[in-house]
Chain A
């Protein structure tokens, strides 16, 4: 029986190759998207599940409230893990990770490299997390001071294929003995490390003390707790208030601050976007991609359904004959479902090939490094197959029902097959298809518009033609002015300024007392240490008072410039100049640093655009060694040239280090990397859906025009012109698209506004966002149907009526 279905399908396809090809191609396009997105989704949702005990592992996060400002951080104090193990019987063990350097300098022989992902870790790290050991063993690997475990890549980089266990490696000028080599961490690990140094290498006072002061030394360590199997983190959380009373609250109360600890299940850490968290994924992006892939298969399935029901008339005789000679409805449904399944399977084979072709492009979009092999791992293959089968069934069910329902007696006399209900359904499906396409195009335009807005937003300072030289090492910082002078001698350098923090990146937020309504009240303010030329060099506008005066010794660590937000927040509207801020308090609460406002600058985005502009003050530090960066302004158009020459100058300044040079706008660009990716993904998938819709409409219009040929012939005989006939056909299709536009606009408006609301600074949705996709959809639809319409309208009516 099945072979008979196959024969029939194959010969039908051979006679009219265009339509099965369109069906397969559309389904393949949809399934290609599905394959790529399924790979991505599986990867994102499988974070950290390779650890044997992942269900029992939690990261402790901290919420700190200081003077009314709350900070949620993925890092917690050093003593927390030890105190938790002491207090809670559910805790089996813990592991802490502490990064001393963003990029640590690693040296071997004469070679020096900067390496990321080098952490100090507890010796229990391998009891918490699962690693495969290539050399050495877990037990005792990180027990002793100055011991080191490398990943395979790092080991191969420094020691080739040799076993490095027992050898030394110099990190930040200290020697560490390698005790083990572990397999590289899988890409779906939320915390990525290349080397682990034993925690015992750090000062015991810092990392092994239960001193309550350390509970307030917050910017320190990632804490992971492993519970005994079957234990519940909720139980620990229920006891947390008592724990806080014992360890945290007493000291916090002395300076009006409080802390709370929360837990994040290991599997969720990848999606928990809080401050200081390692690179995180975005669940809403996952949802968006999931919905987009759903749209893709729906659109492709709709094409199949539409083309098959439209072609029903062509197969009416076959169906009738099969019925007359005894085929049951079930057998016919099986036949048509087999056909749709075979089409879907053929499409799947094509899509695997297409996915391979597009993989590198997809990797660029997502910033990952997938290969097609991932498809055959972790059950991804089965998911894709299941989606394919479901798509095949979904696409084939309606045609199978319609076709198998045909009354065989009608075909005995060769009556033409006409079914009003399926014609209506086809129109509904076309409307749906185009509504989705318009929605995606609108989304693309909005995402791109928002990104353009963010990229071009006035930041309140000039970020163009400026690069940042990071200065590390106490000695270098002490001599930062020497380096600055060297850089200034470069003819391409127009000016320099020094600062502790760089606009667009993290800033210290300090608990201070400010003069509010005549008294010193506790509050918080973001602080940056800058030199005299900072605001001039960055074109930050001074709106009141004066700038720092290099001639005035009293400006050092005494005069401050504040921003407009500080003036507003502290209620200094009448006269901000001369107002006081106190900082750094001793045990008795006496201020160690007192500042007076000498000027007010216009608000500028000292943090990335995901943050609002809060109160900010600029201070001249007591010593230039405080500065961490030199900002260099260079001549326009000499970007690469100046980078090379500054690189050389910095190398000459400290030959033992690799220069750390970046662009001033880098921080702002990095912030919206996710959104940029989303924008690119939208563009690609919007194009794909439009293309699939276009193909579907192309196939469908040929049938719709075919069905109206007789009418066209009669109209032409009665005097209608070609343009008159075209107008008639265009009208029919235009209505479908116009309805699609009307339907998609409210959805697009709602969902895109929701998305834009996530931004601190956003564009407003305007008519252009909707008009452009609408015009595009209408143009594409009319161009698509034009091909068949013009042909039909141009045929001699006598020919049409003769063949009817």
Chain B
């Protein structure tokens, strides 16, 4: 489903050149749950941006559902993105001025769904995530956990093939964090590919595989169970 070959990203300013990703190669198969880990500044977010088609790499190849997309224009990326990828962010990134319903509805608007179809699908997903009773509330009226649940609703409402989650529990307490991770796990079990950037060993334990980055390069690719054991021992 996703294949990165020698993926490189270089940021240039007038005086400094920073290599954020340095010839990264890996593959993610459909239905996998992969965690990307590494210290701050290792290139996790840069990688997620490229994987999420928010940015193009400076070099290498990026195959996304059988398309080589590394040189796609912004318009082409936007088109591919809205049909195939759902995003979940650490800081939720809900639009404060829109209600829960309107936030979740937004991807369907850009996909051109009719109002009745939108209503049906939004209510369906809100119901599934048990947040239906809050549909007319605004993000600032919700708890962090509820906001992230809404963000997950928004990520899945268009039934994307992949969900990219960037520190999805970073702003949540452990109870709410677990809740969100369980949601992602359920989605994965139902066939959605999930790629998650995280600092948390606990969250990473939900993944089937972990890609570890350091200074823009992959240092290890492991099965997550080994880390779960380590994490469990640490607890």
Contacts and interface: CB of A to CB of B under 8 A. Distances in A.
B91 interface: yes
Interface stretch (A323-331, A532-540, A617-625): A323-331
Given A325-B87, A326-B82, A318 B110 contact: no
B110 A8 contact: no
Interface in B104-149: 105-107, 109-111
Contacts of B94: 321
A331 B110 contact: yes
B176 to A, nearest CB: 19
B166 A327 contact: no
Contact of B54 (A317, A318, A412): A412
B75 interface: yes
A interface residue count range (under 10 / 10 to 19 / 20 to 34 / 35 or more): 20 to 34
Contact of A414 (B91, B107, B111): B91
Interface stretch (B22-30, B95-103, B227-235): B95-103
Contacts of B63: none
B45 A412 contact: yes
Contacts of B109: 1, 4
Given A329-B75, A408-B54, A4 B49 contact: no
A434 B32 CA distance: 61
B208 interface: no
Nearest to A331: B110
A318 B96 CA distance: 8
B55 A321 contact: no
B110 A7 contact: no
B209 interface: no
B49 A409 contact: yes
Interface residues of B, number: 34
B68 interface: no
Contacts of B93: 317, 320-321, 324, 411-412
Contacts of B90: 413
Interface in B193-232: none
B62 interface: no
Interface in A47-105: none
Contacts of A408: 54
Nearest to A320: B93
B78 A412 contact: no
B154 interface: yes
A12 B96 CA distance: 9
B49 A11 contact: no
Contact of A325 (B75, B102, B110): B110
A15 interface: yes
A1 B112 CA distance: 9
Nearest to B93: A321
Interface in A325-343: 325-331
A8 B78 contact: no
A20 to B, nearest CB: 13
Nearest to A14: B97
B33 interface: no
Contacts of A11: 97-98
Interface in B32-55: 45, 48-49, 52, 54-55
B114 to A, nearest CB: 12
Nearest to B84: A326
A393 B97 CA distance: 24
B159 interface: no
Interface string A328-368: 11110000000000000000000000000000000000000
Interface in B46-97: 48-49, 52, 54-55, 74-75, 78-79, 81-83, 86-87, 89-91, 93-97
Interface in A553-586: none
A325 B107 contact: yes
Contact of A323 (B78, B79, B96): B78
Contacts of A325: 82, 86-87, 106-107, 110, 154
A322 interface: yes
B232 to A, nearest CB: 30
A57 to B, nearest CB: 59
Given A8-B97, A317-B95, A412-B166, A327 B49 contact: no
Interface of A: 1, 4, 7-8, 11-12, 15, 317-318, 320-331, 407-409, 411-414
Given A325-B106, A412-B49, 17 more contacts: A4-B102, A4-B105, A4-B109, A11-B98, A15-B96, A318-B97, A321-B95, A322-B106, A326-B79, A326-B158, A327-B110, A329-B75, A409-B49, A409-B54, A412-B48, A412-B89, A413-B45
Interface of B: 45, 48-49, 52, 54-55, 74-75, 78-79, 81-83, 86-87, 89-91, 93-98, 102, 105-107, 109-111, 154, 158, 166
16 contacts: A4-B106, A7-B97, A15-B97, A320-B93, A321-B94, A325-B87, A326-B81, A326-B82, A326-B110, A326-B158, A327-B78, A329-B78, A331-B110, A412-B45, A412-B49, A413-B166
6 nearest CB pairs, A to B: A326-B82, A11-B97, A409-B49, A326-B110, A409-B54, A325-B107
